[in-house]
């Protein structure tokens, strides 16, 4: 039987402390496809991202996550990374004293059975930085230390470029970016898109999807996916908002 190539989320229920946040998510991300998750604040978008990556603060109470047919629901975050999953954070943390180059080399070696040689690593890193239009000195800076919002997000995309995951989850990559930084980051993502990588883009706004074109759009409200469609659904949300998808308030 051939291996099923997809990131599959089945009936996913997730609790944070005493509150159920996700209430039965079903979603399949295929290689070469871009899926967009849209929804209002508090709907569960970031909870989904962190749960996929295995954050210990998010408890899966029902359902499962399959990566190319392998159940990763109970895997540690580093095991998920080795299996081919990547998460670009909405708010990346700074790591003073650790250069981008050392950080990237450690991350790359942690996801491979054999460490990459320093020469090959430097060559690949320079190629990817050139692709993302990043200056060479960026590699010598401490991770996110003193970075602008746009630089932090570009650093996340550089990590994605170096790790070459099977599936990438971008959690509100457009958050805090002005229009120029947004375009640069989106161009970097588009440069990495291809038939081997599936992408899940999480965003509030349609503006990011002007640059990163989704194949499918899903609306996440109240912990459930309440609508599915193509790029036209994002345009509809831009015009009318999420109000019609909100559950009726109690009298």
Question: How deeply is 211 buried, as exposed, middle or buried, from its count of CB atoms within 10 A (0-12, 13-18, 19+)?
Answer: middle
Angle at 151 between CA 147 and CA 154, to 5 degrees: 145
Q: Which residue has tokens 């095991």? A: 79
For the chain, how are helix, strand and coil distributed in percent, rounded to 5? 35, 30, 35
CA pair distance 218, 224, nearest whole angstrom: 10
pLDDT of residue 249: 56
pLDDT tens digit string along 139-195?
999 999 999 888 898 899 999 999 999 999 999 888 878 888 888 889 889 988 999
Handedness of CA 165, 171, 174, 177 (dihedral sign): negative
- Reading phi first (left if > 0) and then psi (alpha if -120 to 50, else beta), residue 17 is in left
End-to-end C-alpha distance for the chain, whole angstroms = 53
Mean pLDDT check: name the lowest of 8-22, 95-109, 121-135, 174-188: 174-188
Contact 66, 16 (CB under 8 A): no
What span, in angstroms and rounded, lies between the C-alpha atoms of 202 and 174?
9
Q: Which residues pair with 201 in a beta bridge?
A: 36, 170
Question: What distances in angstroms separate CA 218 from CA 37, 68, 228, 247, one per listed residue?
Answer: 5, 21, 5, 16
Which domains are assigned to the chain? Answer: 7-93+151-245 (3.40.50.300)
In eight-state DSSP terms, residue 116 is: P
SS3 251: coil
Is 85 buried (19+), middle (13-18) or exposed (0-12) by CB count in 10 A? buried
Using the predicted structure, report yes or no on whether residue 1 has a pLDDT greater than 60: no
Write out the two tokens for 182. 């947004």
pLDDT digits (tens, 9 = 90+) for 77-119: 999 999 999 999 888 999 999 999 999 999 999 988 899 999 9
User: For 219-243, what is the mean pLDDT?
Assistant: 92
What is the helix (H) or strand (E) element at residue 22, kind and residue range?
strand 19-29
Q: Both tokens of residue 140?
A: 């010598």
Three-state SS at 90:
coil
Residue 251 pLDDT greater than 60, yes or no: no
């Amino acid at each position: 039987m051939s291996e099923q190539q997809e990131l599959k989320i089945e009936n996913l229920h997730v609790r944070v402390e005493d509150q159920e946040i996700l209430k039965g998510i079903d979603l399949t991300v295929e290689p070469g496809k871009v899926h967009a998750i849209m929804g209002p604040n508090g709907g569960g978008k970031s909870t989904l991202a962190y749960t996929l990556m295995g954050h210990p603060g998010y408890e899966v109470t029902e359902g499962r996550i399959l990566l190319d047919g392998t159940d990763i629901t109970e895997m540690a975050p580093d095991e998920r990374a080795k299996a081919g999953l990547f998460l670009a954070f909405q708010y990346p943390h700074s790591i003073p004293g650790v250069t981008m180059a050392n950080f990237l080399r450690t991350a790359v070696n942690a996801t491979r059975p054999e460490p990459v040689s320093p020469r090959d690593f430097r060559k690949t890193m320079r190629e990817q930085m050139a692709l993302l239009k990043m200056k060479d000195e960026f590699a010598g800076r401490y991770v996110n230390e003193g970075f602008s919002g746009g630089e932090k997000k570009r650093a996340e995309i550089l990590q994605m470029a170096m790790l070459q995951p099977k599936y990438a989850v971008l959690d509100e990559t457009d958050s805090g970016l002005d229009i120029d930084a947004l375009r640069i980051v989106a161009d970097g993502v588009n440069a990495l898109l291809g038939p081997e990588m599936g992408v899940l883009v999480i965003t509030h706004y349609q503006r990011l999807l002007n640059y990163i074109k989704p194949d499918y759009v899903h609306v996440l409200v109240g912990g459930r996916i309440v609508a599915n469609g193509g790029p036209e659904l994002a345009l509809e949300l831009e015009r009318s908002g999420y109000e019609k998808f909100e559950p009726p308030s109690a009298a």
